[in-house]
Amino acid sequence: MTRRLSVDVAIIGGGLVGSSAALAMRKAGLSVALIDKGYCGAQASGVNYGGVRRQGRPPEQLPLSQRAHRIWSQLGAMIGMEAEYVRSGHLKLARTEKDFAKLEAYAETVRNYGLGLELVAGSALSKRFPWLSAQAVGASLCPEDGHANPRLVAPAFARTAERAGATVLELTPVRAVAATGSGFAILAGDDIEIRCRQLVNSAGAWSDHFAAQFGEPAPLTRIYPSMVVTEPLPLRLPMSMGEQGGSFYGRQVARGNYVMGGGRGLPLADPDFSRPSVKAASSVMQRAIALFPHLADAQVIRFWSGTEAEMPDGNPVIGPSETTSGLFHAFGFCGAGFQTAPAVGEVLAELVTLGRTTTPIQAFSIGRFRKVAVETAASL
């Protein structure tokens, strides 16, 4: 029998963006349906590295990132679990003097955003971080950045939204969606019809499909992280690590495993699935031993990958559709959406209720790609 739902807002995609938007919208008193083709938080939101990091983001992302930083501090109260979130600090290493100069330049650029970056170089490095080998010439520390367990956070947001009254539809692929004049009509799963006044497209790597249906092509490409996990080891690495250039990142989780990544995985025949590449994993493993000599005898027990969405300019798409009133996009977080997503949820709730947001998001407009497309066409 057909199930009919009528809600204020339907959200396609139950990742951390969609789940946190559903919760924020319930708090604003809207009725919400959160729809996912699989399970909430099972794609990029669940398979990412788990870095809760502001450092290294381009300046235009920092207001959003700072807003998220405040939300993360309330995580436990908000979703009923800490999800292994710790403000451990994020230490970004420079392998060369040239890289260190880049870290210095970045610190200068973002000086007014309140990240509290500390630059450490030379002999001070090993004094301050004795667990690190002499493989770096300097580093930039963001003391209040940290990490969390990505597998737990988005599902907890979705469950909290559900408890707050959102209708959460998992294993429910959206088969058709169309504007109706007064809102949208959605056919989902086998027999669910949803009517809504407003629609959020937060379908991650599948978002371009929905944007295109509203005449808004989005130049999204899929990327696949390549992650390596060691066996649980005595707790020794106190902070989340990165490197200028991004070829290595790593953290030690509460259980004791080192979770490390770098490079890219490869899609399988079905591009919704992927595997880490042995080449990328080997490079991560080699770098791990160079950086942390105490890992020389460690065992790797697991690789993982997943599907994330990347935009050509490294920034996400967040904001209203330029073709369809009542439609909002939030996708393409380029492998770095985990930290900002809870703020994106709040921004989306502001957009659907007020039509505006206090957080600057102009740089994330979907229209920027239409302009590029027009200019490219004109130059031909």
Partner 1 sequence: MSEPLSPVVVGAGPAGIRAAERLVRAGLRPIVLDEGQRAGGQIYRRPLVEDGRSYRGRYGSEAGKAQRLHQAFEALLPQIDYRPETLVWNISHSERGNQLDILSAGVHRQVDFSHLILCTGATDRVLPFPGWTVPGAYTLGASQTALKAQGCTVGDRVVFMGSGPLLYLVAWQYMRAGARVQAVLDTAPLASKRHLLALAVHAPRIVALGVFYGLQLQLAGVKIRYGVRPEAVLGTSQVEGLRYRRRTPAGEVVESIACDALAYGFALRAETQLADLAGCRFHFDERDRVWLPERDVLGRTSRPDVYIAGDGSGIAGADAAEISGELAAMALLEDAGRASADVARLVAARNRILRQRDILEQAFPFPADWFETVPAETTLCRCEEITVAEVRRTIASGSITEINRLKALSRVGMGRCQGRMCSAGAAELLSGACGVTADKVGRLRAQAPVKPIPLNFGGGKPEAWS
Whose Cβ is closer to partner 1: residue 301's or residue 354's? 301
Pair type for strands 51-52 and 90-94: unpaired
Nearer to partner 1, 140 or 226 (CB): 226
Q: How far is the CB of 302 from partner 1 (least distance, A)?
A: 5
Q: In this complex, which beta carbon is closest to partner 1, that of residue 217 or of residue 246? A: 246
The three-state secondary structure class of 348 is: helix
Pairing type for strands 3-12 and 192-201 reads parallel
Site residues for partner 1 per CB under 8 A: 39, 42, 46, 151-152, 155, 159, 230-231, 255, 266, 268-269, 275-278, 282-283, 285-286, 288-289, 295-304
Question: Between 105 and 278, whose beta carbon lies closer to partner 1?
Answer: 278
Q: Which of 5, 45, 39, 42 is nearest to 170 (CA)?
A: 39
Quick check: 209 and 221 in contact, CB under 8 A? no
By beta-carbon proximity to partner 1, the closer residue of 124 and 268 is: 268
Q: Which is nearer to partner 1, 283 or 365 (CB)?
A: 283
Give Dmax over CA atoms of the chain in angstroms: 71
User: Minimal distance in Å, beta carbon 126 to partner 1?
Assistant: 22
Using CA atoms, how far residue 20 sits from 11, 34, 35, 115, 123, in Å, is: 11, 10, 13, 24, 43
CB of 19 to partner 1, least distance (A): 13
95 in Cβ contact with 136 (< 8 Å):
yes
CB of 324 within 8 A of CB of 212? no
CB of 268 to partner 1, least distance (A): 7
Q: How far is the CB of 288 from partner 1 (least distance, A)?
A: 6
Going by C-alpha positions, the residue among 244, 238, 227 that lies closest to residue 292 is 238
CB of 16 to partner 1, least distance (A): 14
Q: Which of 56, 66, 18 is nearest to 38 (CA)?
A: 18
- Residue 218 CA to residue 25 CA, distance in Å, equals 25
What is the Cα–Cα distance from 314 to 361, expressed in whole angstroms? Answer: 14
CB of 309 to partner 1, least distance (A): 20
DSSP run (H or E) holding 278: helix 278-291
> By C-beta, is 9 or 227 nearer to partner 1?
227
